[in-house]
Amino acid sequence: MIVKMKKVTLLTDAKDQQSALLRLRQVGVLHPHIVERPSSDEIQQTESMIEKLDKALSLLTLESKPESKSVKKDADTVVATILEMAEQKEHLTAEMEKLLEKQRWFERWGKVSFATLQELAAAQVFCRFYQASKNEFEAIEDKSMIQVIHAGQNLVSFIQISRVPDEQLDFRQDPIPEIEYKKLLAELAELEKSIDGIDQRLGDLSAAQEVLLARRQELQKTLQFNTVAASMTGIENIAFLQGYCPEESISAIEKLAAEQGLGFVVEGPDRPEEVPTLLRNPRWVRIIQPLFSFMGTLPGYAELDVSFIFLAFFSLFFAMLVGDAGYGLIFLAATFWLSRKKKTAPREFFRLMYLLSFGTIVWGVLSGNYFGSEQLSQLPFLRSLVIEGIYSFSDVNQDTVMRLTFIIGTLHLSVGHLLAAFKKINSLTALAELGWIAVLWAVFFVANNLILGKEIPQMTTVLFILGAALIGIFANFQKNIFKGILTSVANLPLSVINSFSDIVSYIRLFAVGMSTVIVASNFNQMASGSGESSIIGTILSVLILLLGHSLNITLAMMSVLVHGVRLNMLEFSSHVGMQWTGKKYEPFKE
């Protein structure tokens, strides 16, 4: 459910602005409406401090370490220390890369002494290092003063020895670094030691993460306060702030106004696109919230909360796309282990995974799929639990499962239009949504005929005519009824084609689910073919099973994100009229 909001305007004497904001932050129910983010020296300074702190945190290891005496308690000092060490490490790393490039030269040419070459040059013996293609090298006429160091398939490395200081060949030179090899190794070792020392000190400072996170939270509050204060508009000596507050929390605003002597105006939102969204659902529906947070999606204030529908159908899609009771048991065990290990983590994610795991197990049992093994599915007890029409290892059931996906798709989209009709309950345009439900089921019968060869029932024509009439008359209902009908009829053909495409797109539930079974079955066959009566064969079989099923599980999870989410976010949402344009309700609070 999307919580009802009220638009609130607070007015205060300019000299009392600071104290009023401090008290408002204590109440913590108003979401400030800031049209244009203000800029000030304080805001920029705070933002800069947060940016530095975030960079410092990113440089620390994630694992918590016992607190060390070397860790300073002052967060700003710790941040400065971390950033200074990071800068030192960056400089040392750049120096090391230069030395490593020189080391690669010695790997190409050998441990040549720069000092010796200098002595030879003083004695009028000059050595130059070249690299050329094999064809270019073969074209050299006089090779009497050339020593080949390395001849590869395409590249030749060679030295030219000359008595003339300016004598050069027309090839790319590879000059020797001006350092002795032993000194190079010593400098590399020293740099590596210094970098390791910095890494060790950064590791020790990881114990200060909690201090840094607390400081970040403090700075974030300061930034929010300064931003809200700077955004308050003033007329002479009066300052005012506008924002949005949940309807049930208006009494807290009224109490604040009475205590602080503030003026206030409470009214209904006049621009729904500016209103933040606050979702409040039962605990068993809130388990879908981690998925919404992962995708960064939120319904707009004027849109519908489809959390329950999303949860119900996403659970079904997950079960069908993965479709393996064995995988479901793995998900269940992993969720149980992780929930025990991460006891302080939010519980919604684990509850969602429990639901998805159980759903996958149920679908896998009903379809007889256990790690893609037909032999397991034929065990008497497990076979008795199978619904024949969706049995995974039957070649005659594909049409039944495809038809089932069309039914699920049509039902899913019909629920979307029912929700849209409910939203428009006070308008005649709601009848057009009911018309779309009739058209969807007519399109369903047509899809069954075109793709599965099923006979089109006589009621299909009635459904289409009835639906088209309701859409044509009421989709763009207006005073000029004929203009509205013409607009609706003009858009109808393309919309019907899109509906056909949307329903057929649910066939991906069958296709991806079947591919999961096939991939698992193929890996099982590969493993059984390698399982000869030898230790090596057994080990190879186990490795194939582990790697193969791990890969299949990964692909199945990717398909859930690609297909399971898509059917809700695109096909379903387009029929509801959802655009997911919401912005999160973030009250001004301590």
What tokens appear for 311 in the block?
């949860």
Looking at residue 553, its pLDDT comes to 95
SS (H, E, C) 147-195: EEEEECCCEEEEEEEECCCCCCCCCEECCCCCCCHHHHHHHHHHHHHHH
**412 touches 574 (CB < 8 A):** no
User: Which residues make Cβ contacts (< 8 Å) with residue 71, sequence separation at least 6?
Assistant: 78, 204, 205, 207, 208
* Architecture of the domain spanning 5-64+210-274: 2-Layer Sandwich (3.30)
Query: Cβ-count burial of 477 within 10 angstroms (0-12 exposed, 13-18 middle, 19+ buried)?
Result: middle
Looking at residue 127, its pLDDT comes to 93
Looking at residue 162, its pLDDT comes to 92
Residues with pLDDT less than 50, the chain: 69-70
Output the CA angle 204-58-47, nearest 5 degrees.
120
What whole-number distance in Å separates Cα of residue 291 and Cα of residue 352? 9
The pTM assigned to this predicted structure is: 0.79
Selection from 170, 513, 472 nearest residue 160 by Cα: 170
Distances in Å between the alpha carbon of 137 and those of 15, 141, 418?
86, 9, 79
Selection from 504, 500, 506, 505 nearest residue 442 by Cα: 500
Helices (H) and strands (E) in the chain — how many of each?
Answer: 22, 9
- What angle, 0 to 180 degrees and rounded to 10, lies between the N-to-C axes of helices 250-260 and 17-27? 150
Looking at residue 556, its pLDDT comes to 94
What tokens appear for 51 in the block?
């940016």
Looking at residue 490, its pLDDT comes to 86
Looking at residue 417, its pLDDT comes to 94
Distances in Å between the alpha carbon of 20 and those of 31, 224, 229, 256, 271?
15, 15, 10, 9, 26
Distances in Å between the alpha carbon of 477 and those of 127, 341, 590?
91, 58, 49
The terminus-to-terminus CA distance of the chain in angstroms comes to 26
Q: Is 584 in a helix, a strand, or coil?
A: strand
What whole-number distance in Å separates Cα of residue 474 and Cα of residue 481? 9
Looking at residue 309, its pLDDT comes to 95
Looking at residue 192, its pLDDT comes to 95
C-alpha 476, offset from chain centre: 38
**331 touches 357 (CB < 8 A):** yes
What tokens appear for 308 in the block?
């329950």
- For the chain, state the CA radius of gyration: 36
DSSP E strands in 199-321: the ranges are: 233-235, 238-246, 263-267
Beta bridge partners of 238: 13, 235
**H/E run at residue 576:** helix 573-576
DSSP E strands in 418-569: the ranges are: none
What tokens appear for 336 in the block?
């149980």
Q: What is the dihedral of CA 218, 223, 229, 233, to 10 degrees?
A: -160
User: Which residues make Cβ contacts (< 8 Å) with residue 144, sequence separation at least 6?
Assistant: none
DSSP E strands in 21-119: the ranges are: 31-32
| 172-173, strands of its sheet edge to edge | 146-151, 155-162, 126-133, 172-173
What whole-number distance in Å separates Cα of residue 231 and Cα of residue 528? 70
Strands 233-235 and 155-162: unpaired
What whole-number distance in Å separates Cα of residue 368 and Cα of residue 393? 8
Determine the length of the chain.
590
* DSSP annotation string for 222-240: HHHHHHHHHH-EEETTEEE
Looking at residue 533, its pLDDT comes to 62
Query: Cβ-count burial of 524 within 10 angstroms (0-12 exposed, 13-18 middle, 19+ buried)?
Result: buried
**H/E run at residue 127:** strand 126-133
User: Which residues make Cβ contacts (< 8 Å) with residue 548, sequence separation at least 6?
Assistant: 519, 520, 522, 523, 524, 526, 527
What whole-number distance in Å separates Cα of residue 356 and Cα of residue 62? 29
Question: Hey, what amino acid is at 258?
Answer: A
